[in-house]
Amino acid sequence: MMYEDITESEESDLCDWQLPLAFMKKRHTERIAASHTETQTWRMKERMKTVSVALVMCLNVGVDPPDVVKTSPCARLECWIDPLATSPQKALEAIGNSLQKQYERWQPRARYKQSLDPTVDEVKKLCTSLRRNAKEERVLFHYTGHGVPRPTTNGEIWVFNKTYTQYIPLSVYDLQTWMGSPSIFVYDCSNAGLILKSFEQFAMQKEQERDALHHPQISGITSRTQMSMPPPAKNCIQLAACGSRELLPMNPELPADLFTSCLTTPIKIALRWFCNQKSSDLVPGITLELLDKIPGRLNDRRTPLGELNWIFTAITDTIAWNVLPRELFQKLFRQDLLVASLFRNFLLAERIMRSYNCTPLSSPRLPPTYQHPMWQAWDLAVDICLSQLPALLNGAEYKHSPFFAEQLTAFQVWLTMGSEMREPPEQLPIVLQVLLSQVHRLRALDLLGRFLDLGPWAVSLALSVGIFPYVLKLLQSSARELRPLLVFIWAKILAVDRSCKADLVKDNGHKYFLSVLADPYMPGEHRTMAAFVLAMIVEGYLNGQVRTEAALQGNVVAICLEQLSDNHPLLRQWLALCLARVWTNFDAARWCGVRDSAHEKLYTLLNDNLPEVRASAVIALGTFIGSGSDRTDHATNIDHNVGMTLINVAQDGSPIVRKELVAALYQLIRQFEGQFASIARQILEDDIRKDENLTPAVAGTASGGFTVVLHGESAVKTNVSGPDLSRRRHSLQPIAPANLGRLKASALHKSPTVGGNLVHHHLPNGPQLSKSPPTPGGSSSSSSSSYGSHGSGDGFTPPAGPIMFEKMRRIPSTAALSTIFSSSYSNVYVQIWKVMLQLASDPYPEVKYLAQSLVNAINLKATFTAKPQLVVDSRRTNSAPNSPTNRRGANHSPQNLSDSPPPSTLNIPNEVLKPVPIRPGEQPPPARPQNPPPIGAAFSHTQQFSRSRKLFDKGPIIPETYEEEQQEVNETPASLAVGTDFSEWCCKYFAQSVMKPPDEMDPFSGLHHEREWRFVRNARLRREALDHIENAGTCRLDDQIFINKNTATPLVVRFHPFNPHIVVADKEGICVWNWENGEKLNYFTNQNPKNSRITSMDFLNSHDVTLVMTGSDDGAVRIWRNYWSQSNKPVELVSAWQALSDMLQSTRGSGLVLDWEQESGMLLASGDVRIIRVWDTQREMKLQDIPTGADSCVTSLACDSVGRSLLIAGCGDGSVRLYDRRLSPAECRVMTLREHNGWVTNVHLQKGAGDGKIISASVSGDVRFWDPRFTESVKLINTPFNTLTAMAVHQQANIIACGSANQLISVYNTAGDTLSNIKYYEGFIGQRIGPISCLAFHPLKMHLAAGSRDSFLSIYSTEKKAR
């Protein structure tokens, strides 16, 4: 579809833009998981320092070397000293001292040693001495060879003999050996490139010699020659003045040591070189003498000379960062201060010396940089400075260079279109330098923050430049205007690289963020970031918490608690998370919170409008009760108080809150493990006593796949079905081995089989371990007649995850549990345990599996509390024997460790024995691990036992003393790891862009264009439907345009308003059809429990990205994404919650009845209950409960679209009740209409004008119209149906359709006229329909969908289908 024939009037008539979207927040669209950031490489693995410097100068002043013919005049200056101005010896010493001072400016703390016109022995002594003192640090060797011959091709440089009568060669091989590694070499002589080549050859030769020493048998080297070798030369750096065939420049305008001058006095030589260029004509009147009079100092950035040096540093850093590979840049420009300075100056040397036909070389080799565009910026800066020089010398005020302001502007321009796909901004290193300036600092921090906001890649890039020490140093600033910027930058850094918190703690940086958090004048978003930074500092970092002891004196707990009522939701969220991390395993902070009533103040957040805030409060309260080490009465009372408050959260509509509730209650259960195990044990025993058949009850699964069974006084009867079995499954939960560790295989003898049954030992007062062999057809040969009532589906088989719970149809967990708990132990532990059992049946899988792992752990512990003794049971069952082929091994003797003979039969309860088939959409469990580890070993959630086990699998061996194993079993729940990734997921917020508007708000994004197209399409379809709607009251609606057999009997059917889709819900799943071409698009299961059914369904966000909402008669609502996807994306469960938790058991119930309003995001829920519950889906929380006042169920719901204050409920007793939800619960029922004599099939509230605004129909066949102002109906339509099973009203047209169990559909207009009768016709081409189960009109078109009990789905229309 394209944008063709879309007019501007259509585009302007898009009301869909104002409609809110439900379940489209980040918590719904992305997985709640921790971010996986790459390991940061910006930190140097090892910082190095150049601690020693050898200055070897072979000048031989007054004597020219024999192989160099110098010009006349010639370059003479050495270190800016004329050697011929004084005596040779004095000149040599002056030059040496001057060179040392030039180096000291870059590294003042190094140890300098001069060797002037030395001999070989002097060089050796110097190098070995410096290496010995430097140890593992770097040593610099500077060689000036202007008074000796050029280096040789054999790898030799020249020095002197003692009498200075001969030139003596010095092998670079020896120099390598003496200098060792790491070292840096500077060669200032002609043909210096030869030294680099020789150095690399000798380094390779040494590597080969080292390898030979490691393998003497291969090389043939004798042990006598095996001497210690110096370290390899791989960490050596070299700088050479020219190539292997090049001579140094001899221009008399230049110094003789031009290369050394560039490396040690870059500004001085750069200014002189600039004046010698033609461009200097632009600045007339500047002479070399004036250059020496530029005012200021190099280290004072406020002076002209200092500013030039600052600009030079920024430019050379920028060139290197943009040209060099990241790893090489880190090594050369960030590892060692002296090396970084030399290489910055080396870039200048390359530019200057190349203009004189010399090519400086380096190892490692650098790409050419002498033509980089940033050099033009340098020339401009020099030009601007020198142009002011005459006026400056006359006392004028210096005007600072616009260089940094212009570069920040260029950086700002890049940011306007910045993205990861573009080249990084070349100005980033300059921004780092600008942070040093108070004038530009504020703007630089702002732009830096905007850059970091682009994403983790930008943070990594900034850290690789070296931004970290600068922003760390700025935390010492007291300037208030910097606070918001620094807090933002640090939040971004810590969200990507948490290792930085160590530096923060080291420098007491947490105090800065404490002061920001406590500042009431700071905006909420900046206090939020301060809370995030503090939370990151204390997270899992012992030093962070030790430092927080000082923070306790700074009242971090009190500061957080004071602001919990702040209007900024993200601040409330991170205050709670910060508190949670502060007192995790930190008693001092916890008791500080106790004294401040922290838990009571956090209670208010449990009702916050934002689910993320509620979840954070649950985390804080969970860590609050889980961090206490001492169990005083006061602490216990607090824990009980918190626990009883937290259980109210179990009815929260957000899965992330309920999942955090499981983790929080785990902290309490872990503290009082014995009490909860005792409660679980009493529940198990009570369940056995209440079971008249006294069937063994499943308590858990132990090692090797064995089932822990509780046995009563008799175990003969095994026929259990119906409510008794379902009720037991609420309280006796199988254990999920993947989440608990394993129960050690030590409770059974190895038993033979008799008649195909495994031998079973009875443990009268404790658990039994039984093994359930798979049997064909889901029945066992031991008692084939005992399984007829519930088939193979009553066994227990989990999907790939923790073992699932099963529930009886329309008996929710609370109703079933209420029969289990007696008043004899109805205390705080019972209430909390009831909630855990509810959560173990949660409709959201992640919540359910997490709760099941905890419940199973406690149940398993409870079964071993009594320390049972092994007793032989001589009773046998009277089941028929298996076939002879299955009787092999019946006469074999088991390995029995006790003195008593082995029993011959095994009493296996049917609920243990029979497997459960895999439902559609479920994954089979993976195979059992080969070697199960002992108790306490951790397993992933996906590691499960196999559903089918070998019949003669070897069972566990019983130890001689059963009691020895008890201690380990009792420790199982304590070793259980129950946690979530919610807090880590919250951290991702700061790693992502917070300034950039979301894609749907960006008019240039693809997502925005998709939405725009959908909204234009919607408007067009609405207009096209108007013509058909106007004539609907007189047209026949009986032309069948679609018929197909559905997967199962349709229970609910819905048309999509704008796509040609119709979704059909059966008992267990949803089928999606394209009614235009008859294609079945998808089918997926709803994951509702067995024996429950779908009773409600609707589309959410049908105008945009559509979701499907289903409601099942167990009270659960589920929201599905990708119900149909062209890109074959899997169907995903967005959210699920228990809309109603107290559904009443009834033989014929309405299930869960829902009514959805897109405009307000309100959801009404009722059904087999005595209330109407109003949910706010934006906040995912219950708004109110409205009592129905009826003794029957609610069968249908409707409400007005304006304000949603008027609610209409049709009831099972035939009444239609009106409620005003603005009134109190006692007064909210404003009218009861009682003219129907039977079950109200449907109730509808008309949106437009008509004879009556409310339409209702009952099973007796009467359709009544009501006006809310009167107590009597204003119109009646008597249909010819005795059993009206379905009624639908068109949203736009005045059309009503009624369906009957007598295979008839009648269509009426609101005047009562019959438009069409669709019924069963005999004959070959006759139309056939079954008993009607559901009806639905298309929201826009004149289409009627009908589902029948024979599983057929038909669509009828006023339009003839194109053949």
> Can you read off the two tokens belonging to residue 352?
């200057």
Any idea which residue has 């490396």 for tokens?
263
- Average per-residue pLDDT in the chain? 79
pLDDT band at 974 (very low <50, low <70, confident <90, very high): low
CA–CA distance, 236 with 131 (Å, rounded to integer): 13
In the chain, the amino acid numbered 154 is N
3-state secondary structure of 616: helix
Q: What is the mean pLDDT of residues 60-74?
A: 88
Range 248-263 average pLDDT:
94
Count the alpha carbons within 13 Å of 879 in the hemisphere toward its beta carbon.
27
903 closest CA partner among 913, 894, 914: 894
Measure Cα distances from 619 to 579, 661, 846 in Å: 9, 8, 17
Q: Residue 909: its pLDDT value, please? A: 33
CA 1074, distance to chain mean position in Å, is 36
- CA end-to-end span of the chain: 23
Residue 1000 has pLDDT above 90, yes or no: no
- 1360, 1045 in Cβ contact below 8 A? no
The better pLDDT of the pair 12, 389 is held by 389
570 burial class (0-12, 13-18, 19+ CB within 10 angstroms)? buried
Residues in CB range of 146: below 8 A, 6 or more apart: 58, 59, 65, 78, 188, 189, 248, 256, 257
SS3 of residue 343 by DSSP: helix
Residues 6 or more apart whose CB falls under 8 angstroms from that of 754 comprise 887, 890, 904, 905
Residue owning tokens 């390899």 = 232
Q: In the structure, what pLDDT confidence band is assigned to residue 819 with cuts at 50, 70 and 90?
A: very low
Residue 542 class from Cβ within 10 Å (0-12 exposed, 13-18 middle, 19+ buried)?
Answer: exposed
**340, containing H or E segment:** helix 337-354
The span from the CA of 110 to the CA of 106, in Å, is: 10
pLDDT at 885 over 80: no
Residue 113's pLDDT band, with cuts at 50, 70 and 90, is very high
Beta-carbon contacts of residue 114 (< 8 Å; ≥ 6 apart): 55, 57, 96, 97, 99, 100
Please give the Cα distance from 1027 to 1025 (Å, whole number).
6
Residue 1030: what residue type? E
What residue has token string 């829920």?
Answer: 1165
The pair of three-digit structure tokens given for residue 1285, joined into one six-digit string: 């099973």
Given a cut of 70, whether residue 1208 has pLDDT beyond it is yes
**1118 pLDDT more than 90:** yes
Q: Output the CA angle 1165-1166-1172, nearest 5 degrees.
A: 85
Identify the H or E element spanning 52.
strand 50-57
What are the DSSP calls for 99-164, one per residue?
HHHHHHTT-TTSEEEEEES--HHHHHHHHHHHHHHHTTSEEEEEEE-TTSPPPPTTSEEEEE-TTS
Residue 774: its pLDDT value, please? 38
What is the DSSP code string of 635-685?
Answer: HHHHHHHHHHHHGGGGG-S-HHHHHHHHHHHHHHHHHTHHHHHHHHHHHHH
Report pLDDT for 38. Answer: 58
Chain position carrying tokens 């700061």: 990
pLDDT of residue 1330: 86
* Chain mean position to CA 1279: 58
Kindly tell me if the per-residue pLDDT of 638 is higher than 50: yes
What backbone torsions phi and psi does residue 710 show, to the nearest 5 degrees? -90, 130
Taking 70 as the threshold, does the pLDDT of residue 388 lie above it? yes
With a CB cutoff of 8 Å and minimum separation 6, the contacts of 1091 are 726, 807, 808, 809
Residue 227 pLDDT grade (very low, low, confident, very high; cuts 50, 70, 90): very low
CA-to-CA dists, residue 396 to 287, 289, 399, 441, 959, angstroms: 19, 19, 9, 26, 99
Strand order in the sheet with 1171-1176: 1152-1157, 1162-1167, 1171-1176, 1181-1187
At residue 812, does pLDDT exceed 70?
no
Q: What percent of the chain has pLDDT over 70?
A: 75
Greater confidence (831 vs 284) lies with 831
Is residue 813 within a helix (H) or strand (E), and if so which, with residue range? Answer: helix 813-818
| 232 vs 161 pLDDT, higher one | 161
* pLDDT (0 to 100) of residue 1253: 83
Residue 676: exposed, middle, or buried by beta-carbon count in 10 A (0-12, 13-18, 19+)?
A: buried
Q: pTM above the 0.85 mark?
A: no
Name the more confident of 216 and 441: 441
Contact between residue 1053 and residue 1347 where contact means Cβ atoms under 8 Å apart: yes
Is the Cβ–Cβ distance between 1070 and 1084 less than 8 Å?
Answer: yes
pLDDT of residue 1057: 94
Q: Please state, in angstroms and rounded to a whole number, the distance separating the CA atoms of residues 502 and 493.
A: 13
Q: What is the pLDDT of residue 1159?
A: 87
| Backbone torsions φ then ψ of 197, nearest 5 degrees | -65, -45
**Residue-wise pLDDT tens digits, 907-950:** 333 333 233 344 444 444 444 334 333 333 333 333 333 333 33
Average the pLDDT over each of 17-31, 414-428, 483-497, 864-878 and give the range with the smallest value. 864-878
pLDDT tens by residue, 1008-1023: 888 889 988 998 998 8
- By DSSP bridging, strand 1229-1233 and strand 1216-1220 are antiparallel
Q: Find the range with the poorest average confidence among 569-583, 785-799, 1111-1125, 1251-1265.
A: 785-799
Is there a contact between 1056 and 1073 (Cβ–Cβ < 8 Å)?
no
The pLDDT value recorded for residue 635 is 86
- Rounded average pLDDT over 1044-1052: 92
What is the reported pLDDT for 688?
Answer: 78
Is the CB of residue 1334 less than 8 Å from the CB of residue 1346? yes
**Measuring CA to CA, how many Å separate 605 from each of 382, 657, 984?**
61, 12, 20
Q: Report the 10 Å Cβ neighbour count for 1305.
A: 25
Q: Please report the pLDDT score of residue 225 as a whole number.
A: 43
Residue pLDDT, tens place only, 348-377 = 999 999 999 999 999 999 999 999 999 999
Span 662-715, pLDDT tens digits: 999 999 998 888 889 999 888 888 877 776 454 555 555 444 444 555 544 333
pLDDT tens-digit map of 639-671: 999 999 999 999 999 999 999 999 999 999 988
623, pLDDT greater than 50: yes
Helices (H), 1099-1173: none
- Residue 176's pLDDT band (cuts 50, 70, 90): very high
- Token look-up 């001999």 returns 119
pLDDT of 1027: 78
Average pLDDT over every residue of 14-39: 82
User: CB atoms < 10 A from the CB of 197, how many?
Assistant: 17
The per-residue pLDDT for 217 is: 53
pLDDT at 609: 95
> 350 with 259: CB under 8 angstroms?
no
- Measured CA to CA, the distance from residue 134 to residue 183 in angstroms comes to 10
Do the beta carbons of residue 782 and residue 755 sit within 8 Å?
yes
Among 214-228, 303-317, 1041-1055, 1307-1321, name the one with the lowest average pLDDT.
Answer: 214-228
User: Residue 1341, SS3?
Assistant: coil
- 570 pLDDT higher than 90: yes
